Structure 1
Amino acid sequence: MKILYLLFFCFFSIGSDAVVMRHDIPPENYVVEKTPEYLIDMPHEGHGVLINSQWILTVAHTIFYDYVGKSLMVGSKNYEIESVHIHPDYSEPDKSLLKGDLAPLMRFFKSRSDIALIKLTSPVSGIEPINIYTGKSEEGKKITVYGKGATGNGVTGEYPDTKSLRVMSHFQNVIESAEGNWLAFKFDEPANALSLEGMHGSGDSGGASVIFEDSIPFLVGLSSWQLGHGDISTFKGGLYGTIAYQVRVSSYCDWILGVLDS
């Protein structure tokens, strides 16, 4: 089991609904009535996104070991994994980063490329893959983010024990920063928040961040990590004011196309 999995379990993980929500909005408002079929559950936790009839995009830290030969449920059918392609600039943190001051670990997270592609042995039929957003003007756009990981709210933070409930939910936020390989947004308090303002939590990794243009969904980001301060032992994820980081998919278009073409 990867070190980073344990780290996310301890940090970023009461109720029966996923994602971290506003405390003043009924949790059922965040539940997804019909899950988009391009959203894929990874073998143990986290998510992937169908971007091509035979390819799934996810964050690299959801790959805990060699997944070749395992199956993924896409729609109502199981498909076998043929190969896994992790970005060459991805690495796992040294154990020394998993204690004490969080600043070095945060710098490490920001420096790596947390993205991977999974190829299926056969094309998916009957399901429309989501289009990738290829522009560079993500800043200021409202996003809808999906996940079925740990839940909680902005006052209490998230609760790791709820991660096993795996209820597909969604939240909205506004991209405040689109720089380099990352998109960032803040979990605002109700006075400045969207009606479904929220934050991704433990188990939401790889969840799709989507914008809609003329009712067509475009994939802009993948849930990855939360910015933490202070000592690692006292950090609580999912509180109001927390900044979340998502993989900026547009920055990896060339790499994605290169892997697909190969």
Structure 2
Amino acid sequence: MKRINSIALLLMVLLLSMNFSYTTSNEHELMITRHDKDEADFLKLAEKFEKYMCLLNLPDCEGTIIADQWVLSAAHCAVAITEKFYNGRKHFVIIDDVEIEVDKVIMYKEWGNPQADNSSLKDIALLHLKTKPMNVMQAKLYVDEDEVDKLVYMVGRGDKGDGLIGINGNDGKKRGATNRIETATKNWLTWTFDHPDTKTKYLTEYEGISGPGDSGGPAFVVKNDIVYLAGISSWQDTKGGDEGLYGVVENYTRVSQYIQWINKEMTGNGDISEAILRVEPAPDAIAYKYKPKAIDIHASTLKQYVGEYKTVKNTTVKVYTKENGTKFYIMTSDNSEYEFIPTGKHKFSSKKIEGFNLEFKNSENGVFKELIAKLPDGTSREAIRK
């Protein structure tokens, strides 16, 4: 889950950060878990809730199914979908491995003018689906205001890690984790990622937090075997350190404070002043599928690009191949891995992320000395071979 530092960052959900690491950690989302438990426990925990989940089919972000054709997520995730609508494209989420079209996005009021202080945000949005998803479960909304001390369940798939090492790449597996709510304020539910040695009543057996890419994902509360959605992943206070380490504090949008708004919008009785944005795709919107066109290139040719490159921020970008030199990858400083395909002379495009391109320059003795990454916002980052 990425930190929200300004409106500029909120609107640029497809950018690389200044240290050359992608802000969204590619197409997956995951949990950061305590270090002293078997990984299999967290994998098994996720299975209990996967039928409630909606993958927003963005470089990051998830949502929760709450009605026949409704998904609840974070507003800063929904921004990317509205941008596609404005550009004449349709958008499809993924539920139970099936793509379903989104035909309306509703953002909560005040979202268009948030303050620099994260605590003032109203980070919640509704997505309406064109067709009803099948073979799924619907989470009930948590309406009571007694959230403090309640056990919450979080689910995600993507960047993994634990409280000692922080973020440590991704493997695409879905994991679950638990925590216990410490505070419930006007906008937020919060909890701390506690070290197992911490003597606190808030430490849980499967202690964890959301990871990069988990924005919009759920915090479930289970009462009498009924699954309730209590919170929506929004931002993380790292207390001056790195994301994913013990001691960081999670901030989830407090669903109980938006019950009236959610019900009004879903029933069609919402006041237009209540929402800063209601966006639908144009009637002639196209179902755009990003698929870069690859050119043929011999595996031996890829060797000239392989190596480690250093950015102006003194972080390392690794370029390497897999599968006997036929697959081409880079790994950024946060251990996120991206596959690229050759699309031109010394040029490569991300297999998944539109607008994320590489160009290699300054060949010397059969190897390239310079790597330029062109980002989805049109800007570039440079790295020099170490």
Query: Which secondary structure does the structure 2 equivalent of 1:204 belong to?
Result: coil
Shift of 1:257: 1.1
Q: Does 1:216 align with 2:226?
A: yes
Hey, what's the Cα distance between the residues in 1 that align with 2:206 and 2:14? 27
TM-aligned CA distance change 1:75 to 1:4, over 3 Å: closer
Q: Output the TM-score relative to the length of structure 2.
A: 0.57
Q: Choose 170-179 or 75-84, whichever is displaced more.
A: 75-84
Show the counterpart of 2:259: 253
* Structure 1 contact 70–80 (Cα < 8 Å) conserved: yes
Q: Output the TM-score relative to the length of structure 1.
A: 0.83
Shift of 1:35: 4.7
* Correspondences of 1:239-250 after superposition (within 5 Å): 239-250=245-256
Q: Does 1:147 align with 2:156?
A: yes
Q: Does 1:87 align with 2:96?
A: no
Query: Which secondary structure does the structure 2 equivalent of 1:237 belong to?
Result: coil
Query: Which secondary structure does the structure 1 equivalent of 2:262 belong to?
Result: helix
CA RMSD of aligned residues (A): 2.6
Q: Does 1:49 align with 2:58?
A: no
Hey, what's the Cα distance between the residues in 2 that align with 1:12 and 1:80? 22
Q: Choose 127-136 or 3-12, whichever is displaced more.
A: 3-12
Structure 2 gaps of 5+ residues are 1-9, 269-386
Bigger proportion of residues as helix: 1
Task: Report the residue type matching 1:253 in the other structure.
Answer: I
Show the counterpart of 1:176: 182
Task: Report the residue type matching 1:78 in the other structure.
Answer: E
TM-aligned CA distance change 1:10 to 1:180, over 3 Å: farther
Q: Does 1:166 align with 2:172?
A: yes
Q: Deviations for 1:24-72, whole angstroms, at most 9, x for unmatched residues?
A: 1122221134552120101112101110101110001112142552222
Shift of 1:77: 3.3
Task: Report the residue type matching 2:51 in the other structure.
Answer: E
Bigger proportion of residues as strand: 2
Q: Does 1:131 align with 2:140?
A: yes
* Structure 1 contact 53–125 (Cα < 8 Å) conserved: no
TM-aligned CA distance change 1:91 to 1:238, over 3 Å: farther
Show the counterpart of 1:99: none
User: Which of these residues, 50, 54, 58, is aligned with residue 73 of structure 2?
Assistant: 58
Hey, what's the Cα distance between the residues in 2 that align with 1:7 and 1:141? 36
Hey, what's the Cα distance between the residues in 1 that align with 2:212 and 2:113? 17
Hey, what's the Cα distance between the residues in 1 that align with 2:153 and 2:124? 20
Hey, what's the Cα distance between the residues in 2 that align with 1:223 and 1:37? 18
Query: Which secondary structure does the structure 2 equivalent of 1:252 belong to?
Result: helix
Show the counterpart of 1:2: 11
TM-aligned CA distance change 1:10 to 1:80, over 3 Å: closer
Task: Report the residue type matching 1:246 in the other structure.
Answer: Y
Q: Does 1:74 align with 2:74?
A: no
Q: How many residues align?
A: 241
Name the structure, 1 or 2, with higher relative contact order (CA <8 Å, separation 6+): 1
TM-aligned CA distance change 1:60 to 1:134, over 3 Å: same
TM-aligned CA distance change 1:240 to 1:11, over 3 Å: farther
Shift of 1:178: 0.6
Show the counterpart of 1:194: 204
Show the counterpart of 2:214: 204
* Structure 2 contact 238–247 (Cα < 8 Å) conserved: no
Percent identity over paired residues: 29
Shift of 1:188: 0.5
Hey, what's the Cα distance between the residues in 2 that align with 1:18 and 1:179? 26
Query: Which secondary structure does the structure 2 equivalent of 1:238 belong to?
Result: coil
Show the counterpart of 2:191: 185
Find the structure with the greater CA-based Rg: 2
